[in-house]
Structure 1
Amino acid sequence: MASVLCQNGCGRDCGKGADGRVFPTCCKSCAYLKKERGLCGHDIDCDIRANEAVCPPWYWKSAAVWPEPFHEEVGGEYVKEMGTKILQRRLPDWKVVRCERIEDAVLWDKYTAKRAQLRERSVAKANIQPETAESIQYSANTTLDHRVNEVWLLHGTSEEAAKAISHSNFLPSSGGCFGSGIYFADDARKSNQYASRTAEDQKIMLLCRVALGGVKVLPEGQDRSADRFAADPSIDSILGTTDAKEFVVYDSAQIYPEYIMYYQEIGTA
């Protein structure tokens, strides 16, 4: 039987149900976005079927030039409002005054290759619902691959480090409450402790995609030798709890630093 193309004109094959029924569109996201925004965009399942989910998210400006090399830092009111919503769950007196989305072909290629590797390994689904998930728009959440425990998490840092990370990704810290690794939180108060001020008296926080893979959940309290779990091929990250949840990964390929948020106390902006 010849393939039937999505009626939205995106060029992808129509989706099929488990019973073999052919749907009029490739996925629900494509139908929703065509109706609401007049553009084609796809959920993670559709991306996996079409190209193993190596193409950039539909909302990236640079998606139109992929697979050509690119690095763009894209601002806008949408990302600023989203960042403020995430922050104000825990820091109600702060707001994002500028937010840049990092669109980098090299970092995205490395990230999606690692994500596909985790998918192929069929990691166990973790019962984790980060606080950040409640502040991300529905259509953006559909680009997350929950089969590899992909989430958005926060990381407080300096402007200089954020710019370096946006081009070359993270370097593991030498130690912390859970040993060496790359640390994230889902609570803005926790990440705010590590955020540095700029010359304009703003602070910096990254909002990153993180493919947690196989997650080892630790008992509450510090474990400064928890990086011993990095030697276990079934464990790709750990989740520990101190005054907040802390997520630690060991391989920077599991991270895509998607947003740089510049934020400030209300009344000082």
Structure 2
Amino acid sequence: WCMEPLGASELAAFGAGFAVGGTLGGRDQRTLLDYTGFAPYCAWRLQHPGLWGKYAMERENLRKIELAALQKSGLALPNARLRQPFKDMAAMLPGSLDAGINEVYLSHGSKPETLLAILSGGLNERFSGGLFGNGTYLAEDVAKNDQYCTYDQCYGDHAELHKLLFDGHGLVHPGQLLYVFVCRVVLGHLVRTKDGSTDLEDPARRSIWSSTSRELAAIPGSSPPLLHHSLLVEVGGRIARYREFVLFHGDRIYPEYLVAYQRTK
């Protein structure tokens, strides 16, 4: 696998997507909030045939088998309705998304120490956890991801990473960089919650879990039973600022882009 440096058009797309949606901060904020926005500095596309093959297989299975089964049961996929900046970003990036299976771009923040593991092996829900289960957490606002990011202070601090990203590409590390993945994600048939326990759409407030914190419940009315593909946590319950998307199967996520960005005042 390898990393392909990107040009001005992709950076412009990320600039549109990184527009802050609301107030910064929150209980997960880990650094001094002395900035007001984010500016992409450089970016790369991950070319990984192995990870892409797994993702493509999940996407095709949902498209040709599971979606057909849901339609046979008279069920349609709910619309995720992402923030407009992320829609704009997707429209500006090359390639296409399959809206019919809720394929979208979402962001995932990371520390420089974990980037190589993600680039080589993908996002692994077995190493993740949080308020809403042991899944991979993604966002539609980079301000949410930024709460968990830590600085790559200067060139040489992470020699193997810098060799991969900067050496030989004519890119200069300016210091004080942070990293976020812009991932291609299959949301499929999502279930919405505010409390992390019950289905927001169900008047009886059925549980969202078939196995607590590890696997989502079956889609009501599906026959044979199919499990929800993703969890959408809405604001107004246990979270106040940013919606969160949680997936419990890492092969439904492809970390297509890595963006190095800077905080701006």
Q: What is the TM-score normalised by the length of structure 2?
A: 0.67
Alignment correspondent of 2:142? 188
Residue from 36, 48, 59 that aligns with 1:104: 48
Say if 2:3 and 2:44, in contact at 8 Å, map to a contact too: no
Alignment correspondent of 2:97? 144
What per-residue deviation string (whole Å, max 9, x for no partner) do you get for residues 213-253 of structure 1? 221111x2344976354364321111112221110011111
The structure with the largest helix share of the pair is: 1
Alignment correspondent of 1:49? none
Structure 1 residue ranges without an equivalent (≥5): 1-69
- From the superposition, tell whether residues 188 and 177 of structure 1 become closer, same or farther in structure 2 (CA, over 3 Å): same
How big is the shift at 1:153? Answer: 0.4
Alpha-carbon separation, structure 2, partners of 1:76 and 1:174: 32
Residue from 223, 228, 231 that aligns with 1:235: 228
Say if 1:95 and 1:264, in contact at 8 Å, map to a contact too: yes
- From the superposition, tell whether residues 229 and 155 of structure 1 become closer, same or farther in structure 2 (CA, over 3 Å): same
Alpha-carbon separation, structure 1, partners of 2:185 and 2:258: 15
RMSD of aligned alpha carbons:
2.4
Alpha-carbon separation, structure 1, partners of 2:245 and 2:146: 15
Which 10-residue stretch deviates more, 186-195 or 226-235?
226-235
Describe how 1:8-23 pairs up with structure 2 within 5 A. Answer: none
Alpha-carbon separation, structure 1, partners of 2:7 and 2:250: 27
- From the superposition, tell whether residues 228 and 262 of structure 1 become closer, same or farther in structure 2 (CA, over 3 Å): closer
Describe how 1:48-63 pairs up with structure 2 within 5 A. Answer: none
Tell me whether 1:119 sits opposite 2:63 in the alignment: yes
Letter in 2 for 1:101: R
Tell me whether 1:95 sits opposite 2:48 in the alignment: no
Describe how 1:218-257 pairs up with structure 2 within 5 A. Answer: 218=193, 220-223=194-197, 227=213, 229-230=215-216, 232=218, 233-241=226-234, 242-243=239-240, 244-257=242-255
Tell me whether 1:129 sits opposite 2:60 in the alignment: no
- Percent sequence identity is 28
Structure 2 residue ranges without an equivalent (≥5): 25-35, 71-75, 154-174, 199-208, 219-225
What per-residue deviation string (whole Å, max 9, x for no partner) do you get for residues 96-153 of structure 1? 1111111211111111111000112105322212125332253648711112111100
Alpha-carbon separation, structure 1, partners of 2:214 and 2:100: 25
Alpha-carbon separation, structure 1, partners of 2:49 and 2:246: 24
Alpha-carbon separation, structure 2, partners of 1:187 and 1:93: 11
Alpha-carbon separation, structure 1, partners of 2:95 and 2:79: 18
Alignment correspondent of 1:76? 7
Alignment correspondent of 2:181? 206
- From the superposition, tell whether residues 240 and 141 of structure 1 become closer, same or farther in structure 2 (CA, over 3 Å): farther
What per-residue deviation string (whole Å, max 9, x for no partner) do you get for residues 178-208 of structure 1? 0110100101111111112112211111110
Higher relative contact order (CA 8 A, sep 6+): 2
Aligned positions, number = 197
Alignment correspondent of 2:221? none
Q: Secondary structure at the match of 2:227?
A: coil
Say if 1:210 and 1:256, in contact at 8 Å, map to a contact too: yes
- From the superposition, tell whether residues 133 and 85 of structure 1 become closer, same or farther in structure 2 (CA, over 3 Å): closer
Alignment correspondent of 1:35? none
How big is the shift at 1:174? Answer: 4.2
How big is the shift at 1:156? Answer: 1.0
